Amino acid sequence: MADLIVVKAKVKDVVKDMNVASDFVEALDEEIKSLVKKAVERAKANNRKTVMAKDL
């Protein structure tokens, strides 16, 4: 587990009464990082230095 931006405890709060496997958290983290990278590229393509919700 290297530099996760997802907090496992927060994921557990959302999941409530189910267990959360560490590989789920790692996969979720990768998905989020990918989404953020795409949003950054979209903001750059629109000549902005601010990433906004609409970039998702």
- pLDDT at position 22, please? 86
Written as six digits, the tokens of 22 are 């560490």
- pLDDT at position 44, please? 98
- pLDDT at position 53, please? 97
Written as six digits, the tokens of 12 are 């557990």
pTM of the predicted structure, to 2 decimals: 0.84
In sign, the C-alpha dihedral spanning 36, 38, 41, 42 is negative
Report yes or no: 33 and 5 within 8 Å, Cβ to Cβ: yes
- pLDDT at position 54, please? 97
Written as six digits, the tokens of 41 are 């590229």
Query: What does the pLDDT look like over 1-56, one tens digit per residue?
Result: 568 899 999 999 999 999 999 899 999 999 999 999 999 999 999 999 999 999 99
Phi, psi of 5, rounded to the nearest 5 degrees: -100, -10
